Structure 1
Amino acid sequence: MTDHRPRLALPTTEGASPAQQAFGALAGEIRKAVIGQEEAMAGLVVGLLSGGHVLLEGVPGTAKTLLVRALAAGLDLDEKRVQFTPDLMPGDLTGSLIYRSGEFDFRPGPVFTQLLLADEINRTPPKTQAALLEAMAEHRVTVDGEPRDLPDPFMVIATQNPIEYEGTYPLPEAQLDRFLLKITVPLPGRDAELEVVRRHAAGFDPNDLGAINPAAGAAEIIAARREIARVEVHPAIQAYIVDLVRATRSAPAVEIGVSPRGATALLRTAQSWAWLSERAYATPDDVKAMALAALTHRVRLRPEAELDGMSTERVIDHVLTQVPVPR
């Protein structure tokens, strides 16, 4: 398989804008706590810049939660964490009405924050998973028939164990499609794992992230998104994105291909990647860098293809090698 995985840029040159320099500094702050996992860190930063949500999948012990906590420590934002369990109810997320002093008062749930860590989201039943749908799609929740707006910016970062693990509830396609990116967090390489052990031997405490300083806040995020919106995407690049998406729908192993929402997700994330690379225009390489993370979770394979060992990653990789690249 060709390696299209992104490597997070560090926009710290003199020509970088203040917002670019802030996010370059943010990456450096995250690395104070997390060794390796560059792809996952890239996905989180791009998801934040693109105004979307990110799903992290990996076996236990690969620093998924630590990575999100390090990101939160490097951002001057309100953040909350919810540990998803089989007995978690929708009202535990969205909030509920409390009767006191002769009237009902609304008690906001943890979803009323700017950065929400939904830890082990596939450990809770579908009814509670669905409680996040409206929040993720519309940045609001409805309680007792009354819509209530969520803060801006608002981002959900969810972690999950692989679906074949015992006690998991696979996310339905409708909710998977609400995630801008899905990042698979791998086991670290030997050198990275050795550095993890060395840090812990030297006294590193993953519960103490006091060494991480906030590098960006809501103002920098808003400024960055304004600059990203001005990143030029040539009509040939737009057509390339559409051709990639349409190619997934005709792949023999695919039952359901990428929707138009996936095409816009790939467009937005390619713009963010170009911005992090300090360019005012997107290239085919920016599209390729984000294709796996933006598209794999939007593809459903035919059962017989899964039995033959096919994966959505291989489908996207094949599409990237077959669709002509604009020049």
Structure 2
Amino acid sequence: MTATLEKPALRHRLAERGVDRVLLLLLPGVVFAVALFLYPFLYGLQLSFAPKEGGVLSNYSRFFGDPYLRDTIWTTAGIALPATLINVLASIPTAYVMRGKMRGKRLLTTILVVPITLGTVLTAQGLIMYSGPAGWLNKTLMGIGLIGEPLNLIHNYTGVLLSLVITGFPFSFLLTLSYLSGIDPTLERAAATLGASWGQRFRRITLPLLAPGLAITFCLSFVMAFSVFPSAQLVGDPAGETRVISIAAYHAAFEEYDYSMGSAIAMIMAVIMLIVIGLVLTWRATLYRGATGGKG
């Protein structure tokens, strides 16, 4: 009897405070996130302010004062941004064509998603075997007389970009397909009956509705690309043009055994990603305000 009385009382108290009981289902997820993300993050943050020598900010001063370290930001951005844009933009027409019923849709979707199952290391190994100087691609092109010497496609910027596109496109495609599938196709049909061309329907109906979803896709794809490490190490030039910020953090922590400096570089890396995500989500919020006429 007591338990029966307590349950309504709890519901009433939550209702009075405007708390939906369904939100309590988030509690296990919040505990999980705090244990596996928040604590390691805070530990790394405090470690970055405890350098081997110098003041609390000496790690950050060293990073931004050393061009070899500081330039890893622009190197990483120069790889991550193009790879993200390619993946997101390429996913739009592919997902648009495949959002409806079509023959062989399951097979084609499976083929497009296969690179996710391979992982970065196997993808890099495949690139070396396929695009290397003695790979199938160069042998074929030289065999038919299109080139006189092997193309330089690996152990450089091109190799890393190709690896990120191969492994990142399936992720962008699946997200974009899910957002496109949620758009009511009758909206385009109604516009077509009013005389709107395909381009007008896509530009004025589909794209505005898809844009908020593309913003999320861009953010997640950018985080994956900006944190690149195996590709830059295996099919890039880790000491030269593809020395990304994650390699700098690894070098500091596990080659110089300066965990404090490694943590500082990781914190800088996280801040840059959060800034980009914040800018994109701000743009996404303006889309919602524009769609609702500035209400709510």
Q: Based on CA coordinates, which of the two structures has the bigger radius of gyration?
A: 2
Choose between structure 1 and 2 for higher RCO, CA contacts under 8 A separated by at least 6 residues: 2
Q: TM-score, normalised by structure 2?
A: 0.27
The structure that is strand-richer by fraction is: 1
Q: Which has the higher helix share?
A: 2
TM-score normalized by the length of structure 1 = 0.25
